[in-house]
Amino acid sequence: MKFKIPQTLEGIAHILDCEYVGSADFPVLGMNEIHVVQPGDIVFVDHPKYYDKALRSQATIILINKKVECPKGKALLISDDPFRDFNKLTNHFNPFVSARAVIAESAVIGKHTVIQPNVFIGNNVQIGNDCLIHANVSIYDNTVIGNNVTIHSGTVLGADAFYYKNRPEKFDKLISGGNVVIKDNVDIGALCTIDRGVTASTSIGEGTKLDNQVHVGHDSVIGKRCLIASQVGIAGCVLIEDLVTIWGQVGITSGITIGEKAVISAQSGVSKSLPGHKSYFGTPADEFRKKYKEIASIRLIPDIIDKLDKLK
């Protein structure tokens, strides 16, 4: 998330009421999670296990809960609770604005786009030309939809990320300040849910087709011309490259990559990154032929045990 107006280190420290390390006029251009940070961004870290990763990242301002040696060319914000203060910055620079109409006045809707009854379109939404949005679709603030996109009834674009910190007294929610981006020629089935990014965009690439009841988690990026069948669950921060096919009821864990032209068979559980140009099956998902050989071998076990018992 980039700030509309560049900030300074001193200014951000004043908002958070915290100490800082670095020049008072050190430029602060935005804030992001560590997997999408760029120079000028703030990233937060609150566990020693991840200090080095944050300090070595592309982020140039690190919101951290311990005063450490500051890398050259970077700055620190010292906070007793970086998670809380990251939320404070999201609320400050991208506050929630309640809807005043079913279709916001600030929404931009292209030529020949059809909006069916009972569709909600939030603040600053952009919808391209020749789209068809069916009844009872909810499109949250700042969503961007390209041209020739079809979205079927009951789908929700832009719900919050499923991201919580487990504190002793409760689960503390990380506030979502990102959005959803749908590229041209995408079809989205009924009752799909696509969560917005925490600070960046959850995006669906050009020509991709989603069946009914597909869930896409926060900050996931789906490439061009992918086919995703019904009841697939994709966790947050997943990268699915171009021309991937995912059949029904596949579950995909967070933070992994599915390579180009991979095919994942129905009811598979994907727990690690999978190279492209191969077919996969099973839980945990593995190469199709290898997995079926394993299943065939397992079926032989009772006969093997029976033969061993007879030898005794």
CB atoms within 10 A of CB 91: 12
Task: Tell me the C-alpha distance between 267 and 248, whole Å.
Answer: 6
| Sign of the torsion formed by the C-alpha atoms of 56, 59, 60 and 64 | negative
Give, as one character, the DSSP assignment of residue 7.
Answer: E
- The partner residues of 187 in beta bridges, in order of sequence, read 150, 209
Per the annotation, the verdict on 218 as an active-site residue is yes
Catalytic residue among 134, 152, 215, 218: 218
Structure-token pair, residue 9: 């280190």
Structure-token pair, residue 81: 């609770």
User: Do 12 and 179 form a contact (C-beta atoms < 8 A)?
Assistant: no
CB atoms within 10 A of CB 266: 14
Q: What are the helix (H) ranges across the chain?
A: 9-16, 51-55, 82-93, 288-311
Specify the long-range contacts of residues 129-134, CB closer than 8 Å, at least 24 apart. Answer: 134/190
Q: What string of DSSP letters covers 8-53?
A: EHHHHHHHHT-EEES-TT-EEEEE--GGG--TTEEEEE-SGGGHHH
Helix (H) or strand (E) holding 292: helix 288-311
User: Do 217 and 236 form a contact (C-beta atoms < 8 A)?
Assistant: yes
Residues carrying an active site annotation = 218
